[in-house]
C-alpha cells in the first residue's frame, strides 16, 4: 500500500487524539501544523492526501484555495463544540468512530461507514 500524506491543523485535545491514533498506521505520513502558513507550505511540498483541521481555526476561503490547488484532497473538519468529524469528499457520511476516520484516511471507501 502506498503511503498517504496527512496534514493536521490545529492544537486541540481532539486533534491530538486523532493524531495519536493515526500515527500508529505505518501507511501514513503525519504532519502537524500550528498555523495556516505552515499548512500551505506543507501542502505545496508534499501534495497531501488528507487535511484534518479544527473547524473554528480554518477559514473557508483558505480551505477552498487549498482544495483548488489539490482537487483530490480529502477534508475532515473536527467540530470541537459537538465533538464530531465532518467529512468533505463529494458525498455525505455521518457518525464516525476513530476506526472509521483512520480507515478513510488510509484510503478506504465511505460506503462501509454508517449514514
Q: What element of type H or E holds 4?
A: strand 4-9
pLDDT, greater one: 16 or 113:
16
Task: Give residue-wise pLDDT tens across range 76-98.
Answer: 988 878 777 777 754 445 566 77
Is 5 a domain residue? no
* Overall number of domains in the chain: 1
Residue 114 falls inside a structural domain: no
Contact in structure between 69 and 46 (CB atoms under 8 Å): no
Task: Name the more confident of 106 and 22.
Answer: 22
- Return d(Cα 101, Cα 27) in angstroms, integer: 14
Structure confidence by residue, pLDDT tens digits, 7-60: 999 888 888 989 999 999 999 999 999 888 999 999 999 989 999 998 876 677
Instruction: Judge whether 1 lies within some domain.
Output: no
Q: Cell 478506504: give the residue.
A: 108
Angle at 48 between CA 102 and CA 69, to 5 degrees: 135
Domain ranges, residue 46: 10-105
pTM of the predicted model, to two decimals? 0.75
Amino acid at each position: 500500500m502506498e503511503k498517504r500524506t496527512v496534514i493536521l491543523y490545529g492544537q486541540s485535545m481532539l486533534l491530538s487524539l486523532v493524531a495519536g491514533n493515526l500515527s500508529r498506521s505505518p501507511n501514513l505520513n503525519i504532519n502537524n501544523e500550528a498555523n495556516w502558513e505552515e499548512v500551505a507550505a506543507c501542502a505545496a511540498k508534499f501534495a497531501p492526501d488528507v487535511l484534518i483541521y479544527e473547524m473554528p481555526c480554518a477559514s473557508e476561503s483558505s480551505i477552498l484555495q487549498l482544495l483548488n490547488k489539490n482537487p483530490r484532497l480529502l477534508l475532515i473538519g473536527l467540530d470541537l463544540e459537538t465533538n464530531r468529524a465532518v467529512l468533505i469528499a463529494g458525498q455525505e457520511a455521518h457518525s464516525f468512530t476513530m476506526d472509521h476516520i483512520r480507515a478513510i484516511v488510509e484510503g478506504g471507501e465511505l460506503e462501509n461507514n454508517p449514514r
